Amino acid sequence: MVQSFIFAVEEVNRRADVLPNLTLGFSIRDSGDSEFQALRATMGFLTGRGQPAPNYRCGTGPPVAAVIGEDRSALTIPMATWLGLYKFPQVSYGATVAVLSDKTRFPSFLRTLPPDSFRARGLARLVSHLGWTWVGLLAQDDDYGQQGSRALGTALAAAGVCVEFLLEIPSSRAEERLRHLGRALAGAGGPGKVWVGSDVWDPALLAPGGPLARTLGGALVFSSHRGQIPGFREFLGQLHPDRRPEDPFVITFWEEMFACRWSNRTEGPRGGLGEAPWCTGEESLKGRDHPFLDMGDLSVTYSCYNAVHSVARALHALASCEDGAGPFGGGTCARIRDFQPWQLLHYLWKVRFRNSHGEEVFFDALGDPPALYDIMNWQETPGGTFHFQEVGKFDSTTLPGQEMVLNDSSILWLGMEKQVPRSVCSESCPPGTRQTPHKGKPPCCFDCTPCPEGQMADKTDSLECRMCPGDDFWPNKRKDQCVKKAVEFLEFGEPLGAALASLGATLALATSAILALFIRHRETPIVRANGRALSYVLLTSLLLCDLCSLLFLGRPGALTCLLRQVAFGLTFTLGVSCVLAKTIMVVIAFRATVPGSPLRRWLGPGLPGAVVLACSLAQGVICATWLAAAPSFPERDTRSSPGKVLLVCNEGSPVAFWCVLGYLWLLALVSFVLAFLARRLPDGFNEAKFITFSMVVFVSVWGAFLPAHLSTRGRATVAVEVFSILCSSSGLLGCIFFPKCYILLVRPDRNTREFLMGRETAGPR
């Protein structure tokens, strides 16, 4: 990192297009991994001499431009607090704690590595992309680890991922930390687990041949972007203590690299090298394999390189200012050889350039750079060694939802497996079900409960089932999508509709045949004795009743809905009125034979017609009132039958419907009572018995119709009414006319006046 800093400064000084005729200098201070030492070095840097003197600048040398560093967040926070008091620019290349983005506390702090909030968001996106919802967290037990684990936990929760456990690793020396981590991994079921981390892990954890290299096989590392620095490898290859005698880092590196002692070292040989041979100076770095020369991990190095160039570009912009067009009061400019820290900070916020790698460098409103991360996979090779392989990237500057690009096929998991491991508390709930959380457990632990009737869930892991939009849609059998409801009505083509239509047509034909038979034998005693005209009218009404049942079948329309109940009511009233007229005539004819009976004056051909007309007219008034006030109309019933749209006829006025039916029932009841009272009349008037039976059938049918009608909907209601019409019609036809047809067709010898008057005994058949 130090060498990348020096390389960047020398590169700026060599360029003619940046700070021409000016040379950047630098001073490197060691914080000693101590907050106190970091603050002491910072104050000494600002003071301009070894002994710090707050609020003083000693010496007349060139102005101090900016502080590059620190790389550790714990040390950077007190430094940034102090430097912020003076609005002194500070650009960090490694401090990533999110709190440093607070510009009210750290107004002069900027950085070239993105804050951990982006890393937490990226890690959560990665875990979610892999389909994992059940994870554990390992964090260092210092403030940095705790803040990072909280940020990651929040991001994971927002992505629907649950944390099973949080293990804290003590902040101690590397060897001790490795032992703690080994125990933590074992406690978390280390083997077989997939580990996802960041490049802030101790390098010893993932070092090839390290103690945990195999345990962490297949791990994914969310690493800071590793840009390339052209010419940097050649720069490192040319390092030599003779070329940089003022650089103690080069001498130390040389001694460790070649296990020798440098003769010009002022403070004596390093520990462990007291008996080592002297360095000859002829040693060469060419062909050497050392992590220092590895260009594969330049994340922090690259960030430090960008930090130096950012300050250089800000200085160049300050030096290029023209009087009268400057950003300060009255259009003035700052002087490059004597400027205030806040003046350079103004230009530093506006820095935007492309570095030598071709990548754009700039700072947002919080002083943070764009979040660029490389997703690395710790892969095992066929030879049993491990190495990092880039498998994806995360770029916060792209469109939302497209920040992460991951090549899943290039990932090798533990054991060189290509299949993504599963990590869930509960398997996903398929469409058609919803999640039911386990009581007392995280939301990722749940049961899959089928959606209730009438609700659906068309997505995986739905939290709630919902109703289908509108009244015309209903969930399918799997309850994973909405389909149009089936339209239902009693059709002619379906078995039930065809059976009822066939029955109605058969009864209509039978009634027509009987009517024709009666007309053919109209002059015979059996036809004339039972009121020929009434019989014709009754048969005609029964024929119309049979035919009107067909109005109830098929798709309901405005005309059929308007006519069917009215037609049913009027035709049946006509029929029952004829039966009532027959019954009255039987009773009066029998009672009028008593000498002095007042009923004699009611006898005559006009009585039956008057009874039929009066009864029918009353029903006609009811039906006319119904049609005028609330006529029937077709309706789509979407609520009565789940999953179906019932095409029905809305009766308009239920009161009117039940008035029509009640009036019919009243007429039938009166006919039944009168016929029952006349059941013991002489044999010539035995028709009263047949009328009694027919009315028993009629009253029974429509009495059973009432609960059946109220308990059904849709085509079942229609079928019940059609069946009731046909049953009552056939009851009247069978009970009243079949005995007469029997005489007309089978026993014509009984079709005589004497037999009907009971004065002749029938002969053998």
pLDDT in tens, 504-551: 899 999 999 989 988 888 888 877 776 788 888 888 988 998 898 888
The enclosing H or E element of 262 equals none
Q: Is the pLDDT of residue 101 over 80?
A: yes
Does residue 262 belong to any structural domain of this protein?
no
Local structure of residue 25 (DSSP, 8 states): -
pLDDT, tens digit (0-9, with 9 covering 90-100), for 145-189: 888 888 899 999 988 899 888 887 776 554 565 566 666 665 554
Q: Is the pLDDT of residue 619 over 70?
A: yes
pLDDT at residue 288, rounded to an integer:
67
Task: Kindly report whether the peptide bond that precedes residue 70 is cis, defined as omega within 30 degrees of 0.
Answer: yes
What strands lie across the sheet with 633-637, from one edge to the other? 486-488, 644-650, 633-637
Neighbours of 400 (CB within 10 A): 6
Give yes or no for a contact between 733 and 508, defined as CB atoms under 8 angstroms apart: no
Which of these ranges, 259-268, 405-414, 702-711, has the smallest mean pLDDT? 259-268
On whether both 16 and 106 belong to a single domain, the answer is yes
pLDDT, tens digit (0-9, with 9 covering 90-100), for 102-117: 999 999 999 999 998 8
Q: Which amino acid is present at 493?
A: G
765 band by pLDDT with thresholds 50, 70 and 90: very low
**pTM check: above 0.95:** no
Does residue 419 belong to any structural domain of this protein?
no
Does residue 732 belong to any structural domain of this protein?
no
DSSP H helix total and E strand total for the chain? 21, 21
pLDDT at residue 430, rounded to an integer:
92
Higher pLDDT, 141 or 100: 100
On whether both 99 and 168 belong to a single domain, the answer is no
Q: Which two tokens mark 393?
A: 């990237």
pLDDT at residue 448, rounded to an integer:
93
User: In whole numbers, what is the pLDDT of the chain averaged over residues?
Assistant: 82
On whether both 527 and 654 belong to a single domain, the answer is yes
265 band by pLDDT with thresholds 50, 70 and 90: low
Range 12-19, long-range pairs (CB < 8 A, 24+ positions): 12/308, 12/309, 12/312, 18/312, 18/313, 18/316, 19/312, 19/315, 19/316, 19/319
Total tally of structural domains belonging to the chain = 4
- Most confident region among 302-316, 585-599, 745-759 by mean pLDDT: 302-316
Give the C-alpha separation, 751 to 757, whole Å: 11
pLDDT at residue 762, rounded to an integer:
47
Q: Is the pLDDT of residue 763 over 50?
A: no
Q: Is the pLDDT of residue 648 over 80?
A: yes
Q: Of 444, 459, 484, which residue constitutes the final position of a domain?
A: 484
pLDDT (average), residues 207-212: 60
Give the C-alpha separation, 534 to 626, whole Å: 28
pLDDT at residue 714, rounded to an integer:
80
Q: Is the pLDDT of residue 374 over 80?
A: yes
pLDDT at residue 760, rounded to an integer:
52
pLDDT at residue 308, rounded to an integer:
94
On whether both 92 and 123 belong to a single domain, the answer is no
Does residue 710 belong to any structural domain of this protein?
no
pLDDT at residue 306, rounded to an integer:
93
Q: Is the pLDDT of residue 758 over 70?
A: no
pLDDT (average), residues 61-89: 88
On whether both 87 and 136 belong to a single domain, the answer is no
Does residue 424 belong to any structural domain of this protein?
no
On whether both 529 and 510 belong to a single domain, the answer is yes
CATH at 321: 3.40.50.2300
583 band by pLDDT with thresholds 50, 70 and 90: confident
On whether both 476 and 542 belong to a single domain, the answer is no
- Burial class, 100, CB count within 10 angstroms (exposed 0-12 / middle 13-18 / buried 19+): buried
Q: Is the pLDDT of residue 699 over 70?
A: yes
- Helices 687-710 and 654-677: crossing angle in degrees, nearest 10, is 150
Higher pLDDT, 641 or 311: 311
φ, ψ (nearest 5 deg) of residue 514: -65, -40
Q: Is the pLDDT of residue 434 over 90?
A: yes
Does residue 515 belong to any structural domain of this protein?
yes
Could you write out the three-class secondary structure of 352-383?
A: EEECCCCCEEECCCCCCCCCEEEEEEEEECCC
| Beta pairing partners, 57 | none
On whether both 29 and 78 belong to a single domain, the answer is yes
Q: Is the pLDDT of residue 191 over 70?
A: no
- Helices 715-732 and 532-548: crossing angle in degrees, nearest 10, is 160
Q: Supply the DSSP string of 479-531, one letter for each residue.
A: SSSEEEPEEE---SSSHHHHHHHHHHHHHHHHHHHHHHHHHHTTTSHHHHHT-
Give the C-alpha separation, 327 to 321, whole Å: 9
Give yes or no for a contact between 644 and 714, defined as CB atoms under 8 angstroms apart: yes
Does residue 281 belong to any structural domain of this protein?
no
- Most confident region among 34-38, 143-147, 361-365 by mean pLDDT: 361-365
Give yes or no for a contact between 704 and 665, defined as CB atoms under 8 angstroms apart: no
pLDDT, tens digit (0-9, with 9 covering 90-100), for 441-487: 888 889 999 999 889 999 988 989 999 888 888 899 999 999 988 88
Does residue 82 belong to any structural domain of this protein?
yes
Percent of the chain with pLDDT over 90: 19
Q: Is the pLDDT of residue 685 over 50?
A: no
On whether both 668 and 551 belong to a single domain, the answer is yes
296 band by pLDDT with thresholds 50, 70 and 90: low
Could you write out the three-class secondary structure of 721-750?
A: HHHHHHHHHHHHHHHHHHHHHHHHHCCHHH
On whether both 111 and 123 belong to a single domain, the answer is no
pLDDT at residue 309, rounded to an integer:
94
Local structure of residue 402 (DSSP, 8 states): -
Range of the domain at 613: 495-593+602-681+751-757
On whether both 60 and 49 belong to a single domain, the answer is yes
pLDDT at residue 202, rounded to an integer:
56
On whether both 508 and 631 belong to a single domain, the answer is yes
Q: Of 344, 369, 394, which residue constitutes the final position of a domain?
A: 369
705 band by pLDDT with thresholds 50, 70 and 90: confident
Give the C-alpha separation, 427 to 186, whole Å: 25
Q: Are strands 196-198 and 220-224 parallel, antiparallel or unpaired?
A: parallel
